[in-house]
Homo-oligomer: A and B are copies of this chain.
Amino acid sequence: MADFASDNTAPVHPKVLQALIDANSGNVPAYGNDPLTEKLQETVRMVFGVSEARAFPVFNGSACNGLALARMIRPYESILCHRQAHINNDECGLPEFFTGGKIVGLEGNHAKLTVASIGDLIETTLGHAPHTSRPKVISLTQSTELGTVYSLEELKALTGFARTHGLYVHMDGARLANAVASLGCTPAEVVAGVDILSFGGTKNGAMLAEAAIILNPSLIEDFAYVHKRGGQLPSKARYVSAQLQALLENGLWLDLGRHANRQAQALRAGLIDRAGVGLLHPVEANELFVTLPKVMADRLFAKGHRFYNWPAEGSDAYRLVTSFATSDDDVNTFLADC
């Protein structure tokens, strides 16, 4: 039976686990003042090509987004995101909680924002000050909640718009590896113009490790307080940093992202021509959104395969997610049972 329920049902990648074992020696200062967290800073700066970047290791992706956004807005400001963004739908109000502000969900094909939709909103809103929360951040999910990927051109348009309108850009990179692998670009290219990146490890082979990577150095100040007050400052930080280091070192994160993407393409290829199967969105990362005949879905569930019905995309819609741990056998068994 294959598990396509999510990329967080997978185990930890052996190299990440080994890094934890290696880290487990002696006493080191707590709260991030340890050599591994220090080393992580160097790695992050090199990988993303930003010499003053600073990574704050955290436990959890929703919280990572919340901290990043809390640093960027005052409570009377708002965050613009796609209506289907994780921060708008899947974090139980955490972003409103952590920021005190408002999340504004906008429309856009395939879960992607466009400059056009944002532009109108900004103008109308500012003309209504102070009655409407002031837009301050554009939050982009890369890859998106629907398994698509912003092109570098699309990103450039959005970050350019942000810069000229005094907005910050947040990137929810819970699945950034899949996006970078898909684009075939450098990490630096994908975060050009981004102020804070929520860098995801947990969905990509880590045990529990994310990082708020501050790319705009002016936002580093006071982030330590936001980090602590949000309950996301690890006392034994070395064990979070070690995981991130293992992923970023030698490009492991991108290898894992490429693998997951490849398996998603294999699923896509195997499904696309079947009768009654429809593809709801382009498969550009490690997620497929498909319509399946009910009989096929029922058969797959009966065989023990795991994946979700996805009512937000229609009653006969389903989501399949691949991961670093998805084997050829998983794909083949699943397709054989279709």
A interface, CB within 8 angstroms of B? 3, 5-6, 8-12, 17, 20-21, 24-30, 59-63, 66, 70, 74-78, 89-94, 96-98, 100-103, 123-124, 127-134, 202-203, 207-208, 222, 224-236, 239-240, 306, 311-312, 325
Contacts and interface: CB of A to CB of B under 8 A. Distances in A.
A234 B59 contact: yes
- Tallying the copies of this chain within the complex gives 4
Contact of A240 (B17, B77, B208, B225): B208
Nearest to A74: B222
Is chain A's interface secondary structure helix, strand, loop, or mixed overall?
A: loop
A103 B103 CA distance: 9
A93 B101 contact: yes
Contacts of A133: 92-93, 225, 229
A232 B94 CA distance: 11
Contact of A60 (B26, B90, B231): B231
Contact of A228 (B12, B59, B70, B94): B94
B94 A75 contact: no
A94 B229 contact: yes
A92 B132 contact: yes
Contacts of A5: 27, 29-30
A311 B124 contact: yes
Given A20-B17, A132-B92, A236-B207, A229 B75 contact: yes
Given A9-B27, A130-B224, A224-B129, A231 B63 contact: yes
A228 B306 CA distance: 23
A229 B17 contact: no
A60 B234 contact: yes
A318 B66 CA distance: 36
A208 B236 contact: yes
B90 A131 contact: yes
Nearest to A323: B27
Residue from A25, A59, A234 having most chain B Cβ neighbours under 10 A: A59
Given A11-B27, A312-B124, A92 B59 contact: no
Nearest to A62: B231
5 contacts: A20-B207, A59-B231, A61-B235, A62-B228, A131-B228
Nearest to A6: B30
Contacts of A232: 59-60, 63, 231
A54 B317 CA distance: 35
Given A124-B312, A231-B232, 4 more contacts: A93-B100, A96-B102, A130-B224, A230-B231
